[in-house]
Structure 1
């Protein structure tokens, strides 16, 4: 009986440790201030999902801008963009630029499902030549960059990031 109790206790402790380890994941990974990521919003001309060439700087204008590099097959990207689309009205004062290296046919269904592409402050760009990916040194997805109205980098995140944190950075970047 003592052996059975000991085995049950060990299993419970291991289970509790596993649950605590899983639930204690950082909600964001903010890149340190001394990162080698360029401090200014890149200015490349790229095709949007409608086939129109657009300048990143012109799309950002003089508003704080959230720039997200994503892949439609990435589960973390799907979660992040899904959460943004649910709260899209809270982003109306900011520009959102979503960029992917994927060809248009691979991403168009995902973009349509988000139901945000027709908003004037939301832009989906195709980085076919990987110019932006190289410039920003994209290593993981989603990669999220917050820029102020002067198009200067305010914060950078990798992975799923709390929407309230993104909104807070954008609000302080006015």
Structure 2
């Protein structure tokens, strides 16, 4: 049964990544006629609890008060998620003042290669983990595809939500506002 659930989740991820790719024009820009589903519950950060890559739990209660938070909902095997991280990696220093939380629903074991590839252990402001198959963060925001990125300022106010993969420069421009 677990294998069936895992296979279904992989299928949903693949469809989300394919849909994100299909929502782009041939030149890579967003299609203007693409209907965008509303993002729900953006006023407050999702009350998350993740099992991190070091086998500990980390939740929204563990965040440092007075610091901006960026939550990225991703899948370790999603091409768009990898593309976003490849763009961001050279810019990690610009994210130093932001608490970055990468959340997925996939198996704990699938996080390690992603974590290692992007050298996230070197980033003390990054937390990476799985919320498990109950997917409370996914349900909270009603996330339709990955990566989903949302940024809150140091007071917990929404700065911007990106229901589709943002470009790194667009994301970093929003980070400069916090």
What range describes the TM-score normalised by the shorter chain of this pair? 0.7 to 0.9
Instruction: Give secondary structure in 1 for the equivalent of 2:122.
Output: coil
Equivalent residue for 1:155, pick from 160, 163, 169: 160
Q: How many residues align?
A: 150
Alpha carbons of 1:130 and 1:81: their partners in 2 closer, same or farther (altered >3 Å)? same
**Cα contact 2:39–2:163 (8 A) shared by 1:** no
| Counterpart residue number, 1:47 | 51
Ranges of 4+ aligned residues in structure 1 off by more than 3 Å: none
Instruction: Give the CA deviation at 1:60.
Output: 5.1
Q: Please tell me whether residue 122 in structure 1 is matched to residue 150 in structure 2.
A: no
Structure 1: where are the runs of 5+ without partners? Answer: 1-20
RMSD: 2.2
Deviations 1:4-63 (A, max 9, x none): xxxxxxxxxxxxxxxxx5115129x9x79x743331012233221111111224235321
| Residue 74 of structure 1, CA deviation | 0.8
**1:135 and 2:155 matched:** no
User: Alignment partner of 2:121: what SS?
Assistant: coil
Indicate whether 1:100 and 2:104 are aligned.
yes
Structure-2 separation of matches of 1:56 and 1:121 = 14
- Residue of structure 2 equivalent to 1:76: 80
Question: Please, what TM-score do these two structures have when normalized by structure 1?
Answer: 0.77
Describe the shift of the 1:60–1:66 C-alpha distance in structure 2 as closer, same or farther (beyond 3 A): farther
Alignment check: 8 A CA contact 1:127 1:133 kept: no
Q: CA 1:61–1:47 in structure 2 vs 1: closer, same or farther (change >3 Å)?
A: farther
Query: How big is the shift at 1:97?
Result: 0.7
Shift of the 60–152 alpha-carbon distance from structure 1 to 2, 3 Å rule, reads farther
Deviates more, 1:135-144 or 1:114-123: 114-123
Instruction: Establish whether residue 91 from structure 1 lines up as the match of residue 95 from structure 2.
Output: yes
User: Which structure has the bigger radius of gyration?
Assistant: 1
**TM-score, structure 2 length as denominator?**
0.75
